[in-house]
Amino acid sequence: MKIGIPTSLLYYYYYPFWKTMFDELKIEIVLSKTTSKYIVNKGIEYSVPEICVPIKVFTGHVVSIIEDVDYVFVPRMVCVLKNEYFCPKFMGLPDMIKYTVPGAINKVLSPKITSDSDNISNPKFYSEMRSILGIGSWELQKALKKAQREWEKFRQLSKDGYVLSDALDIFEGKEIADKNILNKGDITIGLLGYVYDIYDNFVSMNIIEKLKEMNVNIRTFEMLDDSVMNNSIEFMKKRLFWTFSNKLLGAGYYYYDQPNVDGLIHVTAFGCGPDSMIGKMLEMESNTYNKPFMTIRIDEHSGESHLQTRAEAFIDMIRRKKNQADGVSIDENNLSIHGNNAGL
Amino acid sequence: MKITFPYMGTTLVYSKLIELLGHEAVSPPKPSQRTIDLGVKYSPEFACFPMKVIMGSYVEALENGAEVIITSGGHGPCRAGFYGEMHHRILQNLGYDVDILVFDSIKRDFKSFIYNVKKLKGDKSWQSVWKILKLTYKIAVQVDEFEIQLQTIRAYEISKGSCNKVWDKIQQIYKKVFTEKDLSEAKKESQKLIDNIPYKIVPEEKKIRIGIVGEIYVVMESSVNMKMEEVLGNYGCEVHRGHYLSGWIETHMIPKWFSRSREKEIEKKGEKYIEIKIGGHAKETMGHIVDYHEQGFDAIIHLMPFGCLPELVSQSIMPKLMEDTGIHVLTIALDEQAGIANNLTRIEAFLDLVRNSKEKKSSKVS
């Protein structure tokens, strides 16, 4: 029995949980390869043109492994907080995959996650999966418990300041190149965006590495405690309906408020519904807090050099601003027209 | 209070309710190019189309002197439920000092619902409020019934435009309704108007019936869906919509045990394709299509705003549904970049396809 896990969407957030669970149940899992042009093209082929790129990528991942596995793991994420939900596309994801990917109709394994907290280890959610795979309830419970423990360890890594891609490497037992990356840079950026946009190196064109190369410290929403994010949007009369959007918004307000964060970058996918709302809100707040804010909108046509240029310009601007505030004044007219114009 | 509201379908019922409660109703003008331009200017770029149009409507209504906005809320996870909050922020940012009363479904947020009702009712007694609500509800039901009749007759009217004229007249008649007695007279008068529309008799096998389903705002508001019902009517098709105002009231405002709403049944029919409610009207859309198919409709027009989250899910599953039922579905995504000629061509081609396949089917039988 082989179960395929598409390495897309919430894989980046819940993979340690799923992996431990299936390992404990002694079920072999097959991961799809990292996103490539081929996978994206497959995704485009089988999904509606208008839909956002993360869903297309996910579809592509499913297409790429569907023939090699007995089941694909597509959890139906409904909610991980009371009265809040996931984006409708997540809630309908198993249905979409079932009916759009050829050969998937009887191969979708979709536990229905309706939790009231980040903890998704309630055996109740997996009952359907249990009967399909023929697992004993005691076994499942044990596996879930262990999975939850592993996942909490993994979350702690994020909270310690590791970006998710590094945290995943540590979870897998790999050495990460530079352990002391956390506070090395001279600039700190709040990088806001869903895990599947930012950590999918093909979609985000490796923005994390690019920023690290520019000597920037990165802060993301998953490094914060839930209570912190909650507190910073406490003032809103009606909160958003989407858990992760609330987290992003909360993190956004929190980072705006932190004196050591110099600017915010919002990475969003073309056509992302929830982001169309929080993007506007964050943009409006940029003036209130007097902090630079930039939106990077990605889709399947994005060019890498474009991203590089924009990110560099943004960081250079912040660096200049910071230097000026520190008393290093630079005459705007007195810059070399050659080479590095960063104002340094 | 000078009260305004989003423009969706016939605004008669909303204005009536506000007037009867003793306020002044400032209806926004029917959405025009200017409305859309204003909305697009002030809304987030990737917000959905209804939000932009409603944004524009509010700005126009505020220009006309409105002080308070009432609107319906939602419980997510579709973006529509957050319109109120977003509009409020943007209007404040533009310098309008305006109150927005958001009516969430009574079943979800009882307290703020009652608070809003109290604010609206002023010093009217609860008994008279009850009477007013009952009257406006009846108006909504009757007006919708007439609209359904007209949507059928329009396909066969002899002089083009006579149904539209009658529809306008009916709205005028209902504007003058203030008591139950007026209501029954208005009903008779309107029915007479409809009965007097001359129409041609078309044999049953030549009739084309089309269901319009999709997101509620673009389905109900003709100015943003390029007058879909009229267009289809003029091509000689009977039309039925998936959403009517009275139906919405039945499902969202009336407690379950009194409600005659078929929504539960419709949702059940959509269950095969979308298992759970995913917000918006995605599940109902699937259910409606199955339902229309069972009623013998020939084709479906599926309308959605560009980038609509729930409807994208239903659009994804549509090919499978078409395969299962054999019904023809045309999905049209709407936004501010409306190309009328383009869509007319698509609809014309679609209708040719529907007619052809119907003829083929009936000739096979005979």
User: By the CB < 8 Å criterion, does B322 face chain A?
Assistant: no
Give the integer Cα–Cα distance in Å for B72 and A145: 43
Facing residue for A86 by CB, picked from B77, B86, B319? B77
> Would you place residue A182 in the very low, low, confident or very high pLDDT band (cuts 50, 70, 90)?
low
Pairwise CA distance, residues B103 & B18, whole Å: 14
Over residues B307-321, the pLDDT tens digits come to 888 888 899 889 889
Task: Return the pLDDT at A294.
Answer: 92
pLDDT (0 to 100) of residue B105: 67
Residue % of chain A over a pLDDT of 90: 28
Say what the pLDDT of residue B346 is.
92
Chain B interface includes A100 (CB < 8 A)? yes
Total residues belonging to chain B: 366
- Residue A245: HSE in the Cβ half-sphere, 13 Å Cα cutoff: 27
| Confidence at residue A56, expressed as pLDDT on a 0 to 100 scale | 92
Cα-to-chain-centroid distance, residue A191? 11
Q: What is the mean pLDDT of residues A79-93?
A: 86
Is any Cβ of chain A less than 8 angstroms from the Cβ of B85? yes
Q: Does the CB of A276 have a partner CB in chain B at under 8 Å? A: yes
Tell me the CB-side half-sphere exposure of residue A293, using CA atoms within 13 A.
Answer: 20
- Could you count the other beta carbons within 10 Å of the beta carbon of residue B213? 27
Res B366: pLDDT: 56
pLDDT at residue B300 is higher than 90: yes
* Subunit contact A51:B320, Cβ cutoff 8 A: no
At B39, the pLDDT band (50, 70, 90 cuts) reads very high
What pLDDT score was predicted for residue B170?
93
User: Residue A235 above 90 pLDDT?
Assistant: no
> Is the pLDDT higher at A215 or at B259?
A215
Residue range A9-50, pLDDT digits in tens: 889 999 999 999 999 988 999 999 998 889 999 999 999 888
Instruction: Give tens-digit pLDDT for A236-260.
Output: 877 888 888 889 999 999 999 988 8
Condensed to tens digits (0 to 9), the pLDDT of residues A312-341 reads: 999 988 888 888 777 766 665 555 555 555
Q: Which residue do the tokens 């804010």 mark?
A: A293
Chain A residues 17-76 within an 8 A CB cutoff of chain B: 47-48, 50-51, 76
Flag if B77 and A271 touch (Cβ within 8 Å).
no
Fold matches, A2-158 and A178-325: yes
CATH topology of domain A2-158: Rossmann fold (3.40.50)
The two tokens of residue A344 are 């340094």
Distances, alpha carbon B311 to alpha carbons A45, A64, B224, B334, in Å: 19, 26, 17, 12
The domain spans of chain A are: 2-158, 178-325
Check whether A66 has a pLDDT greater than 70: yes
Whole-number Å distance between alpha carbons of A72 and B275: 18
What ipTM does this complex have? 0.82
pTM over 0.90: no
pLDDT at A60 over 90: yes
The pLDDT tens digits of the residues spanning A271-305 come to 888 888 888 888 888 888 889 999 998 888 778 88
pLDDT digits (tens, 9 = 90+) for B93-128: 888 888 888 887 666 677 777 888 888 887 888 888
- Spatial distance between the Cα atoms of A223 and B244, rounded to a whole number of angstroms: 47
Say what the pLDDT of residue A65 is. 92
Q: Which CATH number fits domain A178-325: 3.40.309.10, 2.60.40.1260, 3.40.50.720, 3.40.50.11900?
A: 3.40.50.11900
